[in-house]
Structure 1
Amino acid sequence: MKKNGKRLSVGLLVLALVAVAAVAALVSGQFGGSRQQTAQPSAKQETPGSEAAGNPSTGQTDAGAVKQASIQEKVDIALIGSELEGLYLARAAADEGLKVKVIDPRPAFGGQVLQGEMLFLDETRDEQHRLLVQGRAKELFDGFRAGKIRKLSEFEQYFGKLSKDIPVEQGVNIDGVQLEAGAFGSESKVAGIDYTTKDGVKKRLTANYVVENTDYAAVVSRLKGAVRMPGLEAFYGQKDIEYMSAGFMMKFKNVDWERFQSSFKAMTPKERSAKYGYGSVDHSYAIGLSGMTSKYKPSNDRVFLRGFNAVHQRDGEVLINAFLIYTVNPADDKSVAEAMELGKKEIPLLLEHFRRNITGWEKAELNGFPSYPYIREYNHYETDYVLKVSDMLGARMFWDNVSIGGYPLDLQGTSANKWGIEMGRPDKYGMPLRSFLLKNYDNVILAGKNVGSSAIAYGSARIQPNTSLAAESIGVILGQIQGKKTLRELKEADMPALHSYLESKYAIKVTGVTGRSKIEGWSAEEIAKLDSGEIVYPSYVQKRKK
């Protein structure tokens, strides 16, 4: 009994010492700032598309909880969100030797492309039909055109190459943004992003540059100095803020595409017009067919079927970008959930319409639903230079070009104008670095659909090849100026060497390019009205010539 009692006493003493040590470690971890753990970047990342997509939480934790973040990490570039365009910046910067990390408030990787399954790619071409797509995006667009990158799994593989060895954390909750003094004031530089991982771990990420790459301005919307510019509500005279309609990608299988195509081509122009209206069909694409789509009567006024942008993904699988949902706010979980429900309810009805009205679609079936809507637009925030309609139609080039853009000024529908409107067709135009630098902040870069442009100019600026090339160019430039200058310190005299490097190493040519101005000889008053939307170019130019 004495031996057992002695062993029990020793055991209790050991347990007590362990408990004391644990308490000491906890106190040191919470209050001993010099002993905070520093996270090491991990090569492991979430598998693209492996989780069910959902919506971010926009709530904030209290300041005390944020301060207790035990894991801190410092990188050169912090990319917020995993949309395609910003990933080009991340890839380029990493290849240039910079330390990059992606944190994404969305639960699953790949944004508009992988989760929204917006797999119909819009190319950019000039008015001579010459391809404007450059950089790493060219591989994607060439593969899509050739029929090699058409299905979701093939897009996932491409995304995997872009994000290889770049650490990615999905499903984070952004708790707060830490600011410090910068060139524009006492709180004009982002010092850190406080966030909670999906496993409940609190972290702080600091970076030389923060890149906004979400579809709802997850970080920028928190910055008081970020200025929201007027949106389409100003153009349409609406009281409330409204964005371009969201898309809900339609996915079908068991389509006899060969029969669809051959039947279409065998019709006389009169027969074709009577059945389908205006449009075209070839071995890969079906475009328009608005005579057929306009006969569909939606079940409610928040949804609309416009003309087709349909792609044959091979094996009888077809993806269509044509179904619109109005008044969707990507920053509002409830709004996004409602949009998903509207889409899932309407698509089966649309399938029945297609079965009855399209030759070769009689046995078509649903092929699932995307995990998330295709978000076209959110708030437009002011940048150092805001792209205007006259820049695009005037073929303006800039000393700090980071992209050569093209594409019609395509304003997709809103509840006020369900069909949308085209405001003109540029030849080509430059996109300056300054249109991707958030005004009033030292180190915030805007990527993708966050580009600094007026709401009307955004109709062209938003197209993926335009902002993808800009992001890649900026990533390369960041690598080249690291430790020498900041982006805002770059002057016109610095750009020729950077442009030359982009062209020689990456085959990206953004200087020495000229386009044809569509507004040559216009008065200052006409140009001002063009930029404000008082002049709709396609209709006005016809009257002007008379």
Structure 2
Amino acid sequence: MRLRNPRVLLAIALAVLLILVAAFSLGKIWFNQGSMNMNAIAPIVTHPAPPQVSEVPASTPNQDTKQESASTYPTENVDVVVIGSELEGLYLARAAVDEGLKVKILDPHQAFGGQILQSQMLFLDETRDEQGHLLVQGRAKELFDGFRNAKIRKLSEFTTYMDKLSKDIPIESGITIEEVEQIQTPDHMHKIPSILYKTNKNEVKKITASYWVDNSDFAALMSRLETKRLPGLEKFYGQKDIEYMSAGMMMKFKNVDWKKFNTTFNALKPEDRSKQFGGGNVSDSFAIGLSGMTKAYHPSNDRVFLRGLNAVNQRDGEVLINALLVYTVDPAKLASVQEAVYLGNKETALILQHFRKTLPGWEKAELGEQPTYPYIREYNHYEMDYTLKPSDLLGGTMFWDNVSIGGYPLDLQGTSANKWGIEMGRPDKYGMPLRSFLLKNYENVIAAGKNVGSSAIAYGSTRIQPNTSLAAESIGVILGQLHGKQKLREIKPEDMLKLQTYLATRYQIKLTGVTGTNKITGWNVEEIRKLDTGEITYPSYVQTRKKPAVK
């Protein structure tokens, strides 16, 4: 059939023309915005956005449009920003405030308190030298004395202590770092003038500071900077993939008859105690070891493991235990952390049944409040101005810029490659220099707590809380004393001695005149090299090492 009506033909022609124009326009939009359309159908990612770092040459005025737009955000100016609310960095914050500085805490976690309050890691490890003398100094001493004397044992008591520590220091929890501004200093160092961050209400704010402290358990700030990651335990164990020390899930129980547990255990003859529990000891306050009993427990899967006990009597039938390990946890990945919590809490319920059957006084025990976050022992080690090594620790090395006196065995907690872990030696005591807390190539970035500049092997000892808590407090005091007069990196030995004297007289923190036993006296260069790389395991090597002949 033919269409002869000219009006109909004209209408068809116009319709075709409109369709072609529309198709051309849509094609142009798709061509120009195709990547956006592809992202629109991509799965939602819950991890923080990739870091945005703006580099501004020191000699060039800042013309960057992002920086200009950043000036429109609400801006706060402080002396020190502490990223994270772990215990160790809180000592730095408290000391700096008491010395007159303006400090703010920005916490990437939703809740305050880090491994102490959120992971409920309430079993504290003291540091002592080989003569048994207590090495804990500074503000941390009140906490550790209270723990030992059973005055600070419950979560509420730890909360009261940490609230006092952070009193009147502004804290924003649940923040996300959006952008880090960097400039290059005349001496070719990086410097951070400001950070853009998003609050838990999705408000973007800007904050400027003279110093930035990474006090998080996953290097929330430093992982976004131009840093060098040091080899981890994967090199020591010969693994291909990065793996950190196992995370811990704290186990909380109630309705435990601790008196019966203590008296029954200690009434046994040593040989019967060893046969039934595998040794260890139980006191009014603590139960340590009992590894024969824990070895008899068979985990439900390979990701979890029950090692010897570190149990504390929290009073009123409540007991907290640090003994359950979860392997291959990445603290920087939310899904990995959530999986660890699920695996750990699920296993705790099964372990309870084992304890009811094998431990006297535990027949009616029940689950207590389970933590919602794992105890993270380790993350990446980044290069600082000085990296502490096993030879520093076992050699009893003291530094001119000591900010802490440390001690504790080189205790490498288990990984999937070595589930029980290994001890690499027991130092007497050693110094921890300021340089081990200053991020290499950055003028104003300070490491706190788990971020200490340490090799993965030395970290078995340096990581312990009293060591890095004292360092953080000392640095906080030093920042206050230097404010507006001198930079941390400009400190010379004679300046440091004055600062250490001030710490001793004002805060009773002794960092000089301390001598540590050198346990590697007479070792040659090659032996020390192997000690530092882990090719030599100190406890076994010293039993067979040939001593040089006496002339």
Q: Considering the TM-score relative to the shorter chain, is it more than 0.5?
A: yes
Change beyond 3 A, Cα 1:69–1:419? farther
Q: Is the aligned partner of 1:458 residue 2:470? A: no
Aligned mates of 2:532, 2:72 — CA distance in 1: 47
Q: How does 1:57-456 map to 2 (within 5 A)?
A: 57-60=47-50, 67=70, 70-183=73-186, 185=188, 188-224=190-226, 226-456=227-457
DSSP 3-state at the match of 2:192: strand
Residue in structure 2 matched with residue 498 of structure 1 by the alignment = 499
Aligned mates of 1:113, 1:69 — CA distance in 2: 37
Shift of 1:399: 0.1
Contact kept, 8 Å, 2:51 with 2:224, in 1: the verdict is no
C-alpha offsets along residues 474-507 of structure 1, whole Å, 9 cap, x if unaligned?
Answer: 0000111111110000011111110110000000
C-alpha offsets along residues 147-166 of structure 1, whole Å, 9 cap, x if unaligned?
Answer: 00000000000001110000
Contact kept, 8 Å, 2:74 with 2:205, in 1: the verdict is yes
Aligned mates of 1:521, 1:308 — CA distance in 2: 37
* Length-normalised TM-score, structure 2: 0.87
Shift of 1:281: 0.2
DSSP 3-state at the match of 2:106: strand
Aligned mates of 1:255, 1:391 — CA distance in 2: 43
Shift of 1:288: 0.2
DSSP 3-state at the match of 1:480: helix
C-alpha offsets along residues 319-351 of structure 1, whole Å, 9 cap, x if unaligned?
Answer: 000000000000000100110110121111000
Instruction: Give 1:411's aligned amino acid.
Output: L
Contact kept, 8 Å, 1:122 with 1:463, in 2: the verdict is yes
Contact kept, 8 Å, 1:184 with 1:441, in 2: the verdict is no
C-alpha offsets along residues 453-491 of structure 1, whole Å, 9 cap, x if unaligned?
Answer: 000000000000000000000000011111111000001
Structure 2 residues without counterparts, runs of 5 or longer: 1-44, 53-64
Instruction: Give 1:197's aligned amino acid.
Output: T
Shift of 1:61: 8.6
Instruction: Give 1:70's aligned amino acid.
Output: Y
Contact kept, 8 Å, 1:394 with 1:518, in 2: the verdict is yes
Contact kept, 8 Å, 1:175 with 1:196, in 2: the verdict is yes
Aligned mates of 1:183, 1:154 — CA distance in 2: 49
Instruction: Give 1:516's aligned amino acid.
Output: T
Instruction: Give 1:136's aligned amino acid.
Output: R
Aligned mates of 2:250, 2:375 — CA distance in 1: 7
Aligned mates of 1:477, 1:64 — CA distance in 2: 34
Structural RMSD (CA): 1.5
Residue in structure 2 matched with residue 9 of structure 1 by the alignment = none
Contact kept, 8 Å, 1:56 with 1:173, in 2: the verdict is no
Aligned mates of 2:196, 2:355 — CA distance in 1: 49
Residue in structure 2 matched with residue 539 of structure 1 by the alignment = 540
Change beyond 3 A, Cα 1:164–1:220? same
Aligned mates of 2:264, 2:461 — CA distance in 1: 34
Contact kept, 8 Å, 2:70 with 2:206, in 1: the verdict is no
Aligned mates of 1:281, 1:69 — CA distance in 2: 61
DSSP 3-state at the match of 2:210: strand
Instruction: Give 2:248's aligned amino acid.
Output: G
Aligned mates of 1:499, 1:223 — CA distance in 2: 31
Instruction: Give 1:220's aligned amino acid.
Output: M
Aligned mates of 1:143, 1:530 — CA distance in 2: 37
Residue in structure 2 matched with residue 511 of structure 1 by the alignment = 512
Instruction: Give 1:214's aligned amino acid.
Output: S
Shift of 1:58: 1.8
* Length-normalised TM-score, structure 1: 0.88
DSSP 3-state at the match of 2:209: strand
Contact kept, 8 Å, 1:56 with 1:106, in 2: the verdict is no
Aligned mates of 1:436, 1:183 — CA distance in 2: 22
Residue in structure 2 matched with residue 470 of structure 1 by the alignment = 471
Aligned mates of 2:291, 2:86 — CA distance in 1: 30
Aligned mates of 1:253, 1:456 — CA distance in 2: 36
DSSP 3-state at the match of 1:112: helix
C-alpha offsets along residues 241-273 of structure 1, whole Å, 9 cap, x if unaligned?
Answer: 000000000000000000000001100011101
C-alpha offsets along residues 143-182 of structure 1, whole Å, 9 cap, x if unaligned?
Answer: 0000000000000000011100000000111111111122
Shift of 1:68: 6.7
Computing the radius of gyration from Cα coordinates, the structure with the larger value is 2
DSSP 3-state at the match of 1:369: coil
DSSP 3-state at the match of 1:185: coil
Residue identity over aligned pairs, in percent, reads: 68
Instruction: Give 2:541's aligned amino acid.
Output: Y
DSSP 3-state at the match of 1:198: coil
Contact kept, 8 Å, 1:184 with 1:440, in 2: the verdict is no
DSSP 3-state at the match of 2:312: strand
Aligned mates of 2:310, 2:440 — CA distance in 1: 36
Aligned mates of 1:69, 1:248 — CA distance in 2: 44
Shift of 1:199: 1.3
Shift of 1:67: 2.8
Aligned mates of 2:187, 2:461 — CA distance in 1: 30
Change beyond 3 A, Cα 1:196–1:235? same
Contact kept, 8 Å, 1:60 with 1:174, in 2: the verdict is no
Aligned mates of 2:77, 2:206 — CA distance in 1: 9
Shift of 1:57: 4.3
